Amino acid sequence: MFVSQTHLPQLLDTSHYSDEGVHQRERETMFQSGWHCLAAWDQFPKEGDYITSNLLGTPLILWRRQDQIRAFLNVCTHRFSMLTDRPTGCFQKNMKCQYHGWEYDETGNTCRIPDAQSFRPLKKGELGLKEYRVEMVGQLVFVTLNPQAPPLREYLGEDLASLCEERFSKQHHITYWFDREQPCNWKIVIENLLESYHIENVHPRTFKRFPVPEHCTHTFHDTYDYYIHDFKDEPDSANTERFVCHLTGQPLDLKWRHILRYPNIAVGGSGPFYYFLIVFPLTPTTCRLLTYTFHYSGPRGRLWPFLVHRVLKRYGKYLGQQINQEDAAIYPGIQIGNTTQERPHGGGLISAREERIFAFQKYILSQVGRQPAQQTVAEQNGCHSETACEESASNL
């Protein structure tokens, strides 16, 4: 059942979905300090493979050296060109700048400078690349821009870290992934995935029905929330799952699990398919959505799991594309509606089924507050906006 017995108020106002000041505060208070997943191990099949990415305006190159991924600023120390602007590639020995050919070794130190004598005096290794911390959980590769960030496991919390290890291990395969800009504020993507209320309307052929409240459990923590839908008494879903687990040899777990680690990391799924999703704010009204779905088809390298893998990959990709397209189609309309100045003063109701959105919005307010012009009279007199809301949802 849901925690709240009543509907809840919308806590965020139009500025939270469109204002440059709020956008900057969000980046400073919530994003710069955190860990962010930028890749999966399966995207680096060979020694020397690299991926370039942009994390909150910082261009990075992620480079595989043996069984490790290292992350460097993708900016050459000579005259600051990007080392490479290719999205992927392979530097088997050294990273080489595309402009004048300076080379860097696996620690980021300069190791070869063409016409080196014309740079005298310059000590060997003097101008190294800036390196960032990388940690992995399962096969997900996380990077932080914050040297003081806690260890990744601690940041994610034990529930999420264990789920990632279990569902995104190196035994799992990437079913489907994409990395795309979306024409909406990043919170619209998060709020959409926190509720099952839109399922019957937006995903009538894929998810079909929304879950029975008695089968749902919402648990709220300081930095994350955890949703479990127990569908053992829902024959349609349970039978499909039994069949797939029988094929793959996976233990049967008739639960849909979903965690949001505030503000921007979500993991969800059941049976052989689990997805990982991360959203980055780009501007107040656009964001970047990176998501991976993984599946398990049995131990790697055997014939039967390989055949199951082919089937799961094809089916999972079809399903993933379909669901993502259905969601992406509604983001622009939600963005416009939420940011219109004529937005109705009444309304903005969050149902008990959607209570995870309320908890998320509460977290956002605790981090960035409101724009002064948007504060209520009570808030201007010193009352924090959460106070009133806490009366109606003290357990969330």
Nearest CA among 240, 243, 249 for reference residue 297: 249
Pairing assessment for the beta strands 68-73 and 88-90 based on DSSP bridges:
unpaired
Distances (CA, A) of 195 to 12, 94, 177, 324, 349: 17, 47, 22, 15, 13
Beta-carbon contacts of residue 233 (< 8 Å; ≥ 6 apart): 215
CB of 122 to ligand FES, least distance (A): 13
Choose from ligand FES, Fe ion, none: what does 327 bind? Cβ within 5-8 Å by kind: Fe ion
Do the beta carbons of residue 308 and residue 296 sit within 8 Å?
no
| Residue nearer to ligand FES on the CB measure, 72 or 331 | 72
Choose from ligand FES, Fe ion, none: what does 13 bind? Cβ within 5-8 Å by kind: none
Distance, in Å, from the CA atom of 68 to the CA atom of 3, rounded to the nearest integer, reads 43
Residue 78 sits in the site that holds ligand FES (CB under 6 A): yes
Choose from ligand FES, Fe ion, none: what does 81 bind? Cβ within 5-8 Å by kind: ligand FES
Distance, in Å, from the CA atom of 249 to the CA atom of 119, rounded to the nearest integer, reads 61
Which residues are near Fe ion by CB under 5 A? 327
| Token pair belonging to 128 | 């190294």
Task: Please state the φ and ψ torsions of residue 29, each to the nearest 5 degrees.
Answer: -85, -30
Choose from ligand FES, Fe ion, none: what does 21 bind? Cβ within 5-8 Å by kind: none
CB of 160 to Fe ion, least distance (A): 20
Residue 91 sits in the site that holds ligand FES (CB under 6 A): no
Do the beta carbons of residue 173 and residue 294 sit within 8 Å?
yes
Q: Which stretch binds ligand FES (CB under 6 A): 98-106, 271-279, 331-339, 387-395?
A: 98-106
CB of 39 to Fe ion, least distance (A): 24
CB of 195 to Fe ion, least distance (A): 9
Residue 76 sits in the site that holds ligand FES (CB under 6 A): yes
Q: Please count the other Cβ atoms lying within 10 Å of the Cβ belonging to residue 340.
A: 11
Residue 81 sits in the site that holds ligand FES (CB under 6 A): yes
Choose from Fe ion, ligand FES, none: what does 372 bind? Cβ within 5-8 Å by kind: none
CB of 330 to Fe ion, least distance (A): 8
Beta-bridge partners for 267? 259, 276
Distance, in Å, from the CA atom of 40 to the CA atom of 54, rounded to the nearest integer, reads 15
Do the beta carbons of residue 211 and residue 235 sit within 8 Å?
no
Do the beta carbons of residue 92 and residue 115 sit within 8 Å?
no
Distance, in Å, from the CA atom of 46 to the CA atom of 42, rounded to the nearest integer, reads 9
With CB under 6 A as the contact rule, the residue among 79, 130, 180, 300 that binds ligand FES is 79
| Token pair belonging to 141 | 């590769």
User: Which residue's CB comes closest to Fe ion?
Assistant: 327
Choose from ligand FES, Fe ion, none: what does 163 bind? Cβ within 5-8 Å by kind: none
The number of residues making up the chain comes to: 396
Choose from ligand FES, Fe ion, none: what does 151 bind? Cβ within 5-8 Å by kind: none
Residue 25 sits in the site that holds ligand FES (CB under 6 A): no
DSSP SS3 for 195: coil
With CB under 6 A as the contact rule, the residue among 40, 97, 161, 287 that binds ligand FES is 97
Choose from Fe ion, ligand FES, none: what does 97 bind? Cβ within 5-8 Å by kind: ligand FES
Residue 130 sits in the site that holds ligand FES (CB under 6 A): no
The binding track of 99-128 with respect to ligand FES, each residue x by CB under 6 A or -, is xxxx--------------------------
Q: Which residues bind ligand FES (CB under 6 A)?
A: 76, 78-79, 81, 97, 99-102
